[in-house]
Amino acid sequence: MGDFDGKVVFITGIARGQGRNHAIRFAREGAAVIGVDIAGPVSEYITYEQTTPDDLRETVRLVEEAGGKILARVADVRDSAALKAVVDEGVAQFGRLDVVVANAGICTWNRFWEMPDDQFEELIDINLTGVFKTLKAATPAMIEAGNGGSIIVISSVSGLKAMPGQINYAAAKFGLVGVTQAAAKELGPYRIRVNSIHPYGVNTPMGTDVSVLKLFEKNPSWGPNFVPILEGKPTADPDDISEAVLFLASDRASTITGSQMAVDQGNSKV
């Protein structure tokens, strides 16, 4: 018996990293997974390795190895029609939708006065507008099912305090707090809870991008902003974030909505 037997979860950005880990963890707990990922190059401004079709196929293999059922499709969170088509296909296959994890996102760095307009706009389109489009595509199926449910928005510690070198990222992640709270208020009558999670660094290709050290060498005053209180754990494991996701998706969090959960080694308090 798993905590999510018979439930269906929709996760964006599942090709690797946090999204893949969330998919595997839900599968182990009995959930069927609907997942999307762009599974290809997204931006010329990204300095870490970008996802591939092989990454997406590996997620499918790992979810099935964990005993789960999965419908995985290539889709861009900037494309409302593509998201809706995948949700509709998944609901037709699995019969319902109970949980949404809006996880897809990118991270790019620059000093704001040196940041090209398209670098700022592109990240906002993916990390903020893409979450709006994800929730818009998924919510009608949750309402129609009439089972309540849970939506988890993956924000960042940068949605609780802004970081230097990330004005685009901070704008998007702070924006997700507003998206979360507004959606929670609108969906309360349908017993659908909406909360955001705010990680610090996570051990994924995006979270361990060493190329940004050049910016830190150029701007040494930035360093104190990035110090965690829990110095013995400077980066979280994907499982640390998945634990919070599964908690907020579960009945154990039945009274929690419109909230921001910091899973950040205390960095938001520094």
Catalytic residue annotation = 169
SS3 47: coil
Distances 137 to 15, 45, 77 between C-alpha atoms, Å: 20, 28, 10
- 10 vs 32: CA distance, rounded Å: 9
- 195 vs 49: CA distance, rounded Å: 29
H helix count then E strand count, the chain: 8, 7
The dihedral sign for the CA sequence 88, 90, 96, 99: negative
SS3 131: helix
SS3 269: helix
208-231 burial: b if 16+ Cβ within 10 Å, else e = ebeebeeeeeeeeebeebbebeee
Two tokens, residue 131: 């979450």
- 105 vs 174: CA distance, rounded Å: 14
CB distance 193 to 248 below 8 Å: yes
CB distance 154 to 197 below 8 Å: yes
Helices (H), ranges, 188-237? 213-218
